Structure 1
Amino acid sequence: MTAPGATATPASGSRSRFARAIGGRAAVWIAFGVVHVALVLLNLYGQGWPLGDVEAVYLAWAQNADRGILRMGIDAPWVYPILAFAPMAAALALGPALYPETWLGIVTLLDGLALSVLLGRGRLSRSRRAAAWWWLAFLVLLGPIALGRIDAITVPFALTGLLFAVGRPRVAAVLLTIAAWIKVWPAALVVACVVALRRRAEVGAIALALSGGIVLVSMLAGSGLNVFGFVAEQAGRGLQVEAPIGVPWLWRIAAGDDAVQVYYDREILTYQIAGPGTDVASALTTWVMAAGVLVVLAPGIRAARRGATAVALLPALSTALVVVLILGNKVGSPQFATWLAAPVVLAIVLDRRRALVPALLALGVAATTQVIYPYWYGWLLAADPAFVGVLTLKVVLLAGLLAWALHRVWQAGAVRATAAVAAA
């Protein structure tokens, strides 16, 4: 609104029209449709076979189980937790010929449900609107991998769970625990909730009870200890080419060191690095990751004991734990970048001004991920210096995101409860 006697300038008028255009739910939903149609088309017809795991691996697992040949996680140890089989089997509903399209439809539907929770039913706040637009931008920059892996199933569960965490922690515990039994990483968000929320005992009890129920049902189906097979399967993997910890060896290849090479592991179905010290590095990553989690949890527990609110603590603690799992992971697959969406969206919803730094850093991680995969993945496998440089930049951005998160966790515990409540 202009002051009396003043005339609105064309620039201010255009800004006002632009703000109105992106301000409503309809605009967000239209953008959601456009983004997902584009990502679906890239997955189906884009360069680099982005749906390789879905078409070549998930489909085979689903068909083997459907034919009674082999049920992964039940009849044999599996690289994923047992609930990962549910979406893989569901994507077979329209037959093997339409398996990729059905998979992409399931992911799009789950993303749509998560977006509906994010936007809410009441008046659309600026923070939730900003978070929605950020998430769509994140998906665009991340590219087809945002839909084309099992991780894409967990993201809407994790995002919705965190959005419910402050007001409805029981619902959050259920959603996050289900997500963790599809792919392990959301377990970090359960831990963050146990530390940051006042009703931590309820969250922990629900997570343990639900996990126990999932294990019991799996064992009744005949899994035995195969239900825990994903732990050993992950521990036995080598140093994958995209792993942050593998960057120094990639630079050695780029420099012409013949002692280091990239090879294809036909058992794990991934490209890995072999060379002096890689076996030791691979063996140590689990311990490094565990140590990193403890380093993050220490200031988080300190902040909670000092009375930090969940609003101040949960987004930063969730972000820090997720980034530690990415940086310390010897797998380092490109789809791991999808994990960042849930904690960053929560940070924007709860305090969008202070979330600018992590929002920008996460967008950078998404963009560098798409540069490498799926379009020019071969250049990274050849250790081309430019693409090793892109991977190095991605690691730097992740390290910056971790530094921001640790700083915010420490700040959350820097004052006593009364001061924290006043600041909130």
Structure 2
Amino acid sequence: MTDGARREASAHRLRRFLGSRAALWTGFALVHAAIIWLNLAAPGYPLGDVTAVYRHWAENAAHGWLRMGIDAPWVYPILAFAPMTVALAFGSAWYAQTWLAIVTVLNALAFGVLIGRAGLSRPRRIAAWWWLGFLALLGPIAFGRIDAITVPFAITGLLWAAGRPRVAAVLLTIGAWIKVWPAALVAALVIAVRRRLEVLTVAVSLSVGILGVSLLAGAGENAVGFVAEQAGRGLQIEAPLAVGWLWQIVAGSKSVRIVYDRQILTFQIDGPGADAAAALTTPLMALGVLVVVLIGIRAVRRGAAFGRLLPPLALSFVVVLMLANKVGSPQFATWLAAPVILGLVLRPARFAVPALVAASIALLTHIIYPYWYGWLLIADPAFVFMLTIKSLLLVVLLVWGIRSLWKLGSSRSQRSLVRDVGAVSTTMDLDDN
């Protein structure tokens, strides 16, 4: 055998290994081990919210002193308390490790659904490797907030949306009652799926049940207190709308400064127009969501196939929530994983651009937080520039998503509808995987 033939044979064996479940699960273990180590050992206090805030809330409830969301208003929906409490299972000293184990187990379940049990298709391999790369680029924040609990629910819900829409509705609704953002995926599902009444009934019934249990526990109006708590926030420095004020600080403005809100535990903008901008985010978000809803309905009415519609629709909803958000915390980048993974499973070539953009957003997020976050807190020009690029990349994702939705109603999309239906139905039938 010639040297060229040997190299070709070695490359072939490597490609076969990388496409195997053994390689994927090895990659999963290595990436998760690295992120766990970073959360426990890296500088910048990456698990600060988990160990200093979540654990405090959980311990107060365990001692019967104060149950957040029941005895007092809370910034999160009521089900967020479940993983925070479960993380106390092995005692307060092991709270961080237990939290990281919970996230890893949930990710493993979603990863198992992604790669399936039957033949491992090329799109699923691509999506699985992309997710692992995305997590590695995003770093500690991928695990270190309550959002990490909701991402596996969102991924699994979207992957099961075609074959098991009611189960998908359950998973996404549970996710929304942990952290609100998966509600956008419920909306996307209601628009895209034919059995929308079933999905809506499941989501509403489950929500009523969760609210009912909260009221029976004595929550009263605190059961929905997270709505008012979010509305009362100021403009956080990571929010896309805050970029203009950060550049004013860079330019030497004395009227704009970064302050710490001890009630919400966030760094916010204090300066002319900042409060007005924060108040503007809610109607701006509502308007953005309405635009996506209308364009999505337009695509449905013109016969867009479910598998072609759901990925860009879900992505557009998620990006609207990120762009028109007064908070803009670094963990919000985790939200991008679910719609991008779905898009890579269904249409890998088409979703190459948003996959690359989302990965770039993850990398920029990791550079900014947690290791060198202090530089952003003093409005260092380089870090304000990176935050600006990150915000512009979110705009790129939204433009891509809206453009894709709009084109679904065109004559060209209608001509390709029949071709795509067969491919999508084969890819989305997860009951066989």
Letter of the aligned partner of 1:38 in structure 2? A
Verify: 1:266 aligned to 2:266, yes or no: no
Letter of the aligned partner of 1:262 in structure 2? I
Q: Corresponding residue for 1:307? A: 303
CA RMSD of aligned residues (A): 1.4
Q: Distance in 1 between matches of 2:104 and 2:204?
A: 29
Give the Å deviation of 1:9: 4.2
Letter of the aligned partner of 2:342 in structure 1? L
Give the Å deviation of 1:21: 1.9
> 1:95-154 CA deviation, whole Å, 9 max, x = no partner?
000000000000000000000000101000000010000000000000000000000000
Alignment equivalent of 2:99, drawn from 86, 100, 103: 103
Q: Corresponding residue for 2:48? A: 52
Partner SS, residue 193 of structure 1: helix
Verify: 1:376 aligned to 2:372, yes or no: yes
Q: Distance in 2 between matches of 1:419 and 1:16?
A: 37
Q: Distance in 1 between matches of 2:227 and 2:354?
A: 30
Q: Distance in 2 between matches of 1:333 and 1:14?
A: 44
Alignment equivalent of 1:332, drawn from 318, 328, 337: 328
Q: Is the 8 A contact 2:190 2:199 kept in 1?
A: yes
Unmatched 5+ stretches in structure 1: 1-5
Q: How does 1:76-87 map to 2 (within 5 A)?
A: 76-87=72-83
Q: Distance in 1 between matches of 2:352 and 2:228?
A: 39
Letter of the aligned partner of 2:374 in structure 1? G
User: What percent identity do the matched residue pairs reach?
Assistant: 63
> 1:163-219 CA deviation, whole Å, 9 max, x = no partner?
000111011000000000000000000000000111111111100000000000100
Q: Is the 8 A contact 1:154 1:182 kept in 2?
A: yes
Q: More displaced, 334-343 or 13-22?
A: 13-22
Partner SS, residue 394 of structure 1: helix
Give the Å deviation of 1:334: 0.1
Q: Is the 8 A contact 1:43 1:50 kept in 2?
A: yes
Letter of the aligned partner of 1:273 in structure 2? I
Q: Distance in 2 between matches of 1:301 and 1:12?
A: 50
Give the Å deviation of 1:293: 0.7
Q: Distance in 2 between matches of 1:93 and 1:270?
A: 28
Q: How does 1:212-361 map to 2 (within 5 A)?
A: 212-361=208-357
Verify: 1:13 aligned to 2:9, yes or no: yes
Q: Distance in 1 between matches of 2:39 and 2:346?
A: 33
Q: Distance in 2 between matches of 1:417 and 1:145?
A: 38
Q: Is the 8 A contact 1:307 1:417 kept in 2?
A: no
Give the Å deviation of 1:423: 3.5
Q: Corresponding residue for 2:397? A: 401
Q: Distance in 1 between matches of 2:25 and 2:417?
A: 35
Q: How does 1:63-212 map to 2 (within 5 A)?
A: 63-212=59-208
Give the Å deviation of 1:10: 4.9
Partner SS, residue 48 of structure 1: coil
Q: More displaced, 134-143 or 411-420?
A: 411-420
Letter of the aligned partner of 1:249 in structure 2? W
TM-score after normalising by structure 1? 0.97
> 1:250-298 CA deviation, whole Å, 9 max, x = no partner?
0000111010000110000010010000010001101111111111111
> 1:3-62 CA deviation, whole Å, 9 max, x = no partner?
xxx996455334312211201001000110000010001000101000000000000000
Q: Is the 8 A contact 2:243 2:387 kept in 1?
A: yes
Q: Is the 8 A contact 1:195 1:300 kept in 2?
A: yes
Unmatched 5+ stretches in structure 2: 421-433
Letter of the aligned partner of 1:62 in structure 2? A
Q: Distance in 2 between matches of 1:209 and 1:82?
A: 16
Q: Distance in 1 between matches of 2:250 and 2:359?
A: 27
Q: Distance in 2 between matches of 1:91 and 1:55?
A: 10
Verify: 1:24 aligned to 2:20, yes or no: yes
Q: Is the 8 A contact 2:160 2:167 kept in 1?
A: yes
Partner SS, residue 297 of structure 1: helix
Q: Distance in 1 between matches of 2:309 and 2:136?
A: 29
Partner SS, residue 94 of structure 1: coil
TM-score after normalising by structure 2? 0.95
Letter of the aligned partner of 1:75 in structure 2? D
Give the Å deviation of 1:417: 8.7
Letter of the aligned partner of 1:27 in structure 2? A
Letter of the aligned partner of 1:346 in structure 2? L
Aligned length: 420
Give the Å deviation of 1:415: 3.6
Verify: 1:42 aligned to 2:35, yes or no: no
Partner SS, residue 369 of structure 2: helix
Partner SS, residue 102 of structure 1: helix
Partner SS, residue 273 of structure 1: strand
Letter of the aligned partner of 2:181 in structure 1? W
Q: Is the 8 A contact 1:412 1:420 kept in 2?
A: no
Q: Is the 8 A contact 1:77 1:229 kept in 2?
A: yes
